[in-house]
Structure formats: structure tokens, C-alpha cells
Amino acid sequence: MVIKLSDAVAQKIVELIHKQSGFDVIVCDNTGTIIADSEQVRIGQKHKGSYQILTSDKDSAVITAQEAEESKGRVKEGVSIAIEAEGAKIGTFGIAGPLEVVPPVARIAAGMIIMMLRDEELKDFIRNQVRVLGTSVDQAANGEFDIVFELLKNTTESITFENGNCPEIYKLIDKMSNLAFKDTLTGTYNRRYIDQKLPVDIISTSLSEQSLSIIIADIDFFKNVNDTHGHVAGDHTLKAVADILSGCIQRESDWISRYGGEEFLICLPGAGLKRAVEIAEHMRSSVENSEIVYGECSIKITASLGVCSIKPSSRAPRINAEKLIECADNKLYVAKHKGRNRVEA
């Protein structure tokens, strides 16, 4: 049950996965030759590395590339997902077998998919969240067949290829991206998303000679909420504040992430300092005027916000994400020091 897709189709899907997930992706044929590459610089090269085989019915084992090829006859045939942290071993997840290609959620060509993830934490995430259950035994006369997989061990999805096309891949890659980059409590993006997206936005706005601003918002005296009403009420309050802050940004390019604890980072690409301060003040007043109801309790809170903005200039040194966050964090500290429930920029 190997689908024969052209290298061009494999390249197109690799680029789609890279665009929507930010992962570095290559596809190899059965000889280990790279036939599709998200960076478009490694096509034709041989991929070398060791593979960690995890099957649905066997314990994991670290083996070499040659042993991976030889293992086809030892384990159940099916599909496999190969994932690699840069400089580290490649992890293959799912059911090992003939080297048929599966991206995070779907097979795309004859060969294997390898996703070079940026850190061990992300590799562990994929290992824990995705388990390939298998493929359908019967293949329809028109070439359609299903690959069934499981996310978070409670969501089973089925996707279908027809003539090399798979519309569902868009939704499934979005789902994978959400699982990797969303904070489960608040529904906002998480710290990992900040680490990957903020540097990209800084470079993008710099190249287009636009400003970029960030806001760091912190809930004042949040410990008192937990101490007075309990941690469940505290979690409810965090979610409510996240919703309030999210409601204060309107553009598709703006985004919000949970920065840590009771802190949130808001990124405003293209917004100058004046506009960012206006948005921050709107957030501050919205939190102050809100009434968060939990059970029979009415919880009143305020927030302090620090704002920092950068504007490209040939005379100014380029500011990286770390320095920008440090600037906003310092302004947040000033807001706290001056009495809280205020904006400093």
C-alpha cells in the first residue's frame, strides 16, 4: 500500500507542513536520498543518522539506519513517522515497516518523512501526542485509503488520499500546531510559540521598515486570588484574563501568549509605541472594570503592563527578541513599583 507521488507533490506538501508548523522537513526515498526539502537546499543529498523505532505493539529500540531497513521484516508492516532534533538521533514513531512516508499526520510519498525539530522538548511532545494506529486493510478501487491515527489518546481521526491530494491535511496540521504551541489552560499561545514567532516578526517588520511593539501584562496580587479562593478559582481567573486581553486585539497579525505564571506577552507587528500604549491602556481598563465570577465569588483584579516598541533605523543597532522582552519586562517592573494597575512604556 505505497502511494506513488511525484517528487514535486512531495515538495509541495513539505513546504505546506513547514509553512503551517514551522518545522524543518525533508523526505527521503528508500535509499536515504532526500527527494523533498523545506529549505530546498538538500535535495539529492544522502541523509545519515540513527533511528529510534517505536511500534504500537513493541518497546522502543535505538538502531542504525541499516538496522532500520532490516527491521522491516521483523515488525508489523504499516506506516512510520520519523522525527529528529537537530544534531540528535531521529525518532520514528508509529508502526515500523516498509519505509513509506508519513508527515506528522499523513503519508505523502514513497520514502520516509523526517522532521528536524528545534529541541528535545518538542520531540518529546510529538512522541507523547501522536500514535499511528494503522492503515485500512482494504484499498478502494479509485486509489483511496485511510490512515488512522490518534492524538492525545482520545481523538481518532481518519484522512483520505485521492490521486495524491489530501484536503484534510490542512486541518490536521493546524491541530498539530495548536497542540504544540497552545497553552492548554488559557487557550493562548505558549512560551515555545514566543521563542519561535517573535524573532520572525522582528525580522519581517524590520525588512518592511515597520515598527513592532510588545506588551507584557501581569495580574496584580494574583497570589491573593489563589490564597483566598483556591487554585481552581485562580485557573478560572487566568482564563478569564486571557479572554479579556485577547478581546482587546483585533488584527490577524497580532497575537498573545502566556509568558509564564500570571504573565502574558502580546505582540503587535506594525504598531508603533503610541498605538501600543493605547492598546495596553485599553487592556488595563478592561481588566480593572471586569467582574470575574467563580461559583458564588466575585473576583476583582487589576493588571500592570509594560510596553516596548522598536522601529528600524540604519543608525540604531538591531534589537533581538531577548532584548525586546527585557525592555518590556523592565517597564512592567516600573509599573509595579509605581503602584500597579498602570501602563509604563
Tell me how far apart the alpha carbons of residues 214 and 320 are, in angstroms, rounded to a whole number: 12
- H helices within the chain, ranges in order? 7-21, 65-70, 120-129, 168-181, 191-207, 222-229, 231-246, 273-288, 321-337
CA neighbor of 340 nearest in space, from 305, 306, 304: 304
CA distance 84 to 7: 21
Residue 313: C-alpha distances to residues 115, 118, 211, 277, 280 (Å): 37, 31, 10, 21, 25
Q: CA-CA distance, 191 to 75, in Å (whole number)? A: 38
Integer-rounded Cα Rg, in Å, for the chain is: 24
Query: Among residues 262, 281, 288, 322, which one is catalytic?
Result: 262
DSSP 140-177: -TTS-EEEEEEETTTEEEEEEEBTTB-THHHHHHHHHH
Nearest to 259 by CA among 310, 207, 212, 329: 329
- First CA to last CA across the chain, in angstroms? 60
Residue 168 appears among annotated catalytic residues: no
Residues 6+ apart with CB under 8 A from 93: 54, 80, 81, 82, 83, 126, 127, 130, 131, 132
Q: Identify the burial level of 273 via C-beta atoms within 10 angstroms of its C-beta, where 0-12 means exposed, 13-18 middle and 19 or more buried.
A: middle
**Which residues does the annotation mark as catalytic?**
262
